Amino acid sequence: MEKSPAQEPDKAGKTPEQTASNNVPVSGQRPDQGTAPTNDHYDNGGKPNAGTRPMHAPDTLSAKHNHPVLAQPPEAFTGLTLTEPSKVAAGITAVIKSMQFSWGEAGLARGTQALLKLNQKDGFDCSSCAWPDPDDHRSVAEFCENGAKATASDTDHRTIGPEFFARHSLADLSRFTDRDLNNAGRITHPLAKRPGDTHYRQISWPEAFQLVADELNALHSPDEAAFYTSGKVPNEPAFAYQLFVREFGTNNLPDCSNMCHESSGTTLTNTVGLGKGSVTLNDFYEAEVIIIMGQNPGTNHPRMLTALQQAKRNGAQIISINPLMEAGLNHFKNPQDFMNPLRALGALLGDGTPITDLWLQVKVNGDMAVLRGIMKHLLEAEKLNLGMVLDHAFIQQYTAHYDEFLQELRNTSWEDIEEVSGIAREQLREAANMLAPKKRIITCWAMGLTQQKNAVYSIGEIVNLHLLKGAVGIPGAGLCPVRGHSNVQGDRTMGIWERPRKEFVDALGKEFSFTPPYEHGLDSVETAKAMHDGRIKAFISMGGNYLSAMADTEFIAEGMRQLDLTVFVAPKLNRGHLVTGRTSLLLPCLVRSEVDIQRAGQQFTSCENSMGVVSMSKGILKPIGPGVLSEVAIVCGMAIATLGNRTKTDWVAMTENYDVIRDHIARVIPGFENFNAKVRHPGGFYLPNGPRERKFTTTNGKANFTVTQFKKHTVAPDQLVLMSLRSHDQFNTQIYDYNDRYRGIHGERRVIFLNPDDMAARGIRARQLVNITSHFEGQQRMAERFVAVPYDIPRGNCAAYFPEMNVLVPVASVADVSNQPTSKWVVVTVAPLPEMLPEGTTQPEKLATIA
Ligand SMILES: Nc1nc2c(c(=O)[nH]1)N[C@H]1C(S)=C(S)[C@@H](COP(=O)(O)OP(=O)(O)OC[C@H]3O[C@@H](n4cnc5c(=O)[nH]c(N)nc54)[C@H](O)[C@@H]3O)O[C@H]1N2
Ligand SMILES: Nc1nc2c(c(=O)[nH]1)N[C@H]1C(S)=C(S)[C@@H](COP(=O)(O)OP(=O)(O)OC[C@H]3O[C@@H](n4cnc5c(=O)[nH]c(N)nc54)[C@H](O)[C@@H]3O)O[C@H]1N2
Ligand SMILES: [Mo]
- The DSSP string of 783-846 is EEEEEEEE-S--TTEEEEETTGGGGGS-TT-B-TTT--B-TT-EEEEEEEEEEE--TT---GGG
Please tell me the least confidently modeled range out of 46-55, 506-515, 822-831. Answer: 46-55
Helical segments of 582-649, H only:
631-643
Given a cut of 80, whether residue 315 has pLDDT beyond it is: yes
The fold of the 159-193+205-260+487-688 domain, in CATH, is Rossmann fold (3.40.50)
- The strand pair at 613-617 and 605-608 is best described as antiparallel
Q: Which residues does a 6 A CB cutoff place in the pocket of ligand 1?
A: 128-129, 146, 260, 293-296, 299-301, 321-324, 326, 362, 364-365, 367, 446-448, 484-485, 723, 725-726, 730-732, 824
Please report the pLDDT score of residue 350 as a whole number: 66
| Structure confidence at residue 405 as a pLDDT band (50, 70, 90) | very high
Give me the pLDDT at residue 33, please: 28
341 versus 135: which is more confidently predicted? 135
Helix (H) or strand (E) holding 321: strand 317-321
pLDDT for position 8: 32
Average pLDDT of the chain?
A: 88
| Ligand 2 atom 44 nearest Cα | 574
pLDDT at 295: 97
Domain boundary assignment for the chain: 14-84+719-846, 98-154, 159-193+205-260+487-688, 262-481
- Mean pLDDT on 632-658: 97
CA atoms within 13 A on the CB side of 626: 1
Minimum mean pLDDT range among 4-8, 77-81, 445-449, 811-815: 4-8
Looking at residue 640, its pLDDT comes to 97
Which fold, 14-84+719-846?
Barwin-like endoglucanases (2.40.40)
Choice among 105-114, 215-224, 564-573 with the minimum mean pLDDT: 105-114
| Ligand 2 atom at minimum distance from 228 CA | 20
Using the predicted structure, report yes or no on whether residue 456 has a pLDDT greater than 70: yes
Question: What is the pLDDT confidence band of residue 2, given thresholds at 50, 70 and 90?
Answer: very low
Q: Which residue has the higher pLDDT, 55 or 13?
A: 55
Model pTM? 0.91
User: Is 90 exceeded by the pLDDT of residue 88?
Assistant: no
Ligand 2 pocket test: pick from 259, 540, 749 the residue with the most ligand atoms within 8 Å of its Cβ. 259
Per-residue model confidence (pLDDT) at position 50: 41
- Residue 36 pLDDT exceeds 60: no
CA 646 vs. chain centroid, Å, equals 36
How sure is the predictor about 42, in pLDDT bands with cuts at 50, 70 and 90? low
Does position 844 have pLDDT exceeding 70, yes or no? Answer: no
The predicted structure's pLDDT at residue 35: 31
Dump pLDDT digits (tens) for 141-172.
566 777 878 888 888 889 999 999 999 999 99
pLDDT exceeds cutoff 70 at 265: yes
Q: How far apart are the CA of 106 and the centre of ligand 2, in A?
A: 21
Q: Quick one: average pLDDT of 737-745?
A: 94
What confidence score (pLDDT) does residue 12 get?
32
Question: pLDDT confidence of 851, banded at 50, 70, 90?
Answer: very low
**Could you say which DSSP state residue 34 is in?**
S
Q: Which ligand is nearest to the CA of 129?
A: 1
Spatial neighbors of 519 by CB under 8 A, at least 6 apart, are 251
CA distance 587 to 165: 13
Look at residue 312 in the predicted model and tell me its pLDDT.
94
Tell me if residue 133 falls in helix, strand or coil.
Answer: coil
Binned at pLDDT 50, 70 and 90, residue 6 comes out as very low
What is the mean pLDDT of the segment spanning 667-694? 96
pLDDT per residue over 273-312, tens digit each? 999 999 999 999 999 999 999 999 999 998 899 899 999 9
Give me the numbers of helices (H) and strands (E) for the chain, helices first please: 34, 35
Closest approach atom of ligand 1 to CA 260: 14
* Residues less than 5 Å from ion ligand 3, measured at CB: 260, 484
803 upstream amide cis, omega within 30 of 0: yes
Rounded average pLDDT over 714-737:
96
How many beta carbons lie within 10 A of that of residue 141, not counting itself? 19
Distance in Å, CA 545 to ligand 3 centroid: 12
Dump pLDDT digits (tens) for 780-809: 999 999 999 999 999 999 999 999 999 999
pLDDT of residue 102: 59
pLDDT at 512 over 80: yes
- The closest residue, in CA terms, to atom 4 on ligand 2 is 549
Q: What is the pLDDT of residue 107?
A: 61
- Could you tell me the pLDDT band of residue 331, with boundaries at 50, 70 and 90? confident
pLDDT of residue 48: 47
Instruction: Please check the confidence at residue 322 and state whether its pLDDT lies above 60.
Output: yes
546 CB within 6 A, ligand 2: yes
- So what's the pLDDT on residue 15? 28
The residue that leads in pLDDT, 851 or 239, is 239
The CB of 733 under 6 Å from ligand 2? The reply is yes
Would you state the pLDDT for residue 38? 39
- Tell me the CATH architecture of domain 262-481: 3-Layer(aba) Sandwich (3.40)
**DSSP 8-state class, residue 84:** P
